């Protein structure tokens, strides 16, 4: 699988995937039409599919434009069918789809929005989370509850450590600074923060990264970590209570 990742709009990640064997190409969301077309033209690829993670404007703005140019098949969450246009087909939770020589599994990951999907390619160890999971962060709860987002993150945390993950926004630097405030003893976190600042100084992107690394340093995947709970003075709290406290602190950071 070939992947082109690029920054567009202000801090959105544009992502295009290409199966070399079949020649199939897909975009993960459609944040900016011109930027996507530029990549496709440079690569001499034709867009066959757009996989939509959720209905927010900065992820679907270019759907109509790309549909007109490439007649790509647009597939998104069934739960957000009425909020996304144009939309040709929808995915239910845990539905599989053949993308060229790869199998895609659409996971229902509500929280940021009620119908949000994450896309997993097990053969390629690839995960595209939209605005559900970020490096060192997770999406704000615009529609869902803390329990819904926690359940979604638990689902993603079960995937293999070697899974390479991509997300919808370049928020890593601020997420890193926040993470240090509640997990200062974490040596792996400090190492990642140094890496993030170096990448920013070079105008380089901080993703992709691996789920294994995120499990070790992302506070939103560490609700059951003993030291983190102690730092929050929540040793005996439920997972949901710990997650809600971390989310609240990040909201006001």
Long-range contacts, 239-245 (Cβ 8 Å, 24+): 239/150, 240/146, 240/147, 240/150, 243/146, 243/149, 243/150, 243/153, 244/146
| pLDDT by 10s per residue, the chain, length 253 | 999 999 999 999 999 999 999 999 999 999 999 999 999 999 999 999 999 999 999 999 999 999 999 999 999 999 999 999 999 999 999 999 999 999 999 999 999 999 999 999 999 999 999 999 999 999 999 999 999 999 999 999 999 999 999 999 999 999 999 999 999 999 999 999 999 999 999 999 999 999 999 999 999 999 999 999 999 999 999 999 999 999 999 999 9
Whether 157 and 202 share a structural domain: no
Q: Quote the domain boundaries for residue 24.
A: 2-166
Whether 199 and 241 share a structural domain: yes
Whether 189 and 238 share a structural domain: yes
Whether 121 and 245 share a structural domain: no
Q: Is this structure's pTM higher than 0.85?
A: yes
């Amino acid at each position: 699988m070939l992947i082109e990742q690029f920054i567009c709009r202000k801090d959105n990640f544009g992502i295009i995937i290409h199966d070399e064997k079949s020649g199939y190409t897909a975009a993960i969301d459609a944040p900016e039409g011109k930027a996507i077309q530029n990549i496709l033209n440079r690569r001499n690829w034709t867009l066959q599919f757009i996989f939509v993670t959720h209905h927010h404007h900065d992820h679907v703005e270019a759907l109509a434009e790309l549909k007109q140019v490439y007649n790509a098949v647009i597939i998104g969450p069934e739960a957000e069918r009425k909020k996304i246009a144009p939309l040709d087909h929808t995915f239910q939770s845990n539905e599989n789809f053949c993308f060229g020589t790869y199998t895609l599994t659409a996971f229902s990951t509500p929280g940021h929005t009620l119908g949000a999907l994450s896309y997993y390619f097990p053969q390629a160890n690839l995960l595209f989370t939209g605005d559900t999971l970020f490096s060192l962060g997770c999406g704000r709860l615009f529609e869902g509850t803390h329990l819904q987002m926690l359940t979604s993150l638990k689902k993603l945390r079960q995937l293999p450590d070697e899974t390479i993950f991509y997300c919808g926004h370049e928020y890593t630097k601020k997420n890193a600074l926040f993470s240090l405030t509640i997990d200062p003893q974490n040596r792996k976190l400090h190492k990642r923060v140094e890496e993030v600042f170096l990448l920013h100084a070079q105008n380089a992107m901080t993703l992709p990264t691996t789920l294994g690394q995120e499990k070790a340093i992302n506070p939103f995947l560490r609700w059951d970590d003993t030291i983190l709970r102690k730092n929050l003075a929540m040793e005996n709290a439920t997972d949901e209570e710990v997650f809600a406290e971390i989310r609240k602190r990040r909201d006001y950071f």
